[in-house]
Amino acid sequence: MIACGYESQRYLPMRVQQLHSTYAIVSEPMPGYSFWYRKALVWETDHPYLYMRTTDDHRILIGGKDIPYTDPEKRDKLISLKTRQLERSFSKLLPDIPFKTDFSWAGTFAYTKDGLPYIGSVRQLPHTYFALGFGGNGITFSILAAQIIRDVIQGKKNEGIDIFAFDR
């Protein structure tokens, strides 16, 4: 059983993930400022995407503006540029809310071609099972992967095996 996230790629004979850099900023605290409806998550599905939410300590977290991964040094050199881009995007969408960045950072994550995890085995390693959820979906799909792999090992039919197969 291999379920070690991005490091799993080295055990596979084919590429299933593409690395991307993502950026995020968080505002200074805004206590007493009531502007966000029921702490909703805002997700703009444009490319590159943008998301926004509030935090328990009355901040606004904004993230996205992803780019294809290059290397950590190049990724981090773009933090100030991406910070300005995220601030501008926020101001366009919500111009009446004052936003002052307190922290900014970057990270790396992986995508699959269709956003779905890979669950099951590959022809070259028939007795090895993979549970690979990427792009923030690892936790979401881990229970499903455990159920599918359990059923396969026990010889039971599971409809999910074809949906998440490596040869889809």
Token digits for 80? 């100030």
Q: What is the pTM of this model?
A: 0.77
Q: Which strands sit side by side in the sheet containing 18-27, from one edge to the other?
A: 42-44, 50-54, 60-68, 18-27, 101-111
Q: Phi first, then psi: give them for residue 166, nearest 5 degrees.
A: -70, -25
> How far is residue 59's CA from residue 56's CA, in Å, rounded to a whole number?
7
CB 44 within 8 Å of CB 125? no
What are the boundaries of each domain within the chain? 5-14+114-163, 18-111
Low-confidence ranges of the chain (pLDDT < 70): 136
> How far is residue 63's CA from residue 26's CA, in Å, rounded to a whole number?
9
CATH of domain 18-111: 3.30.9.10
pLDDT in tens, 19-58: 999 999 999 999 877 778 888 899 988 888 899 999 989 9
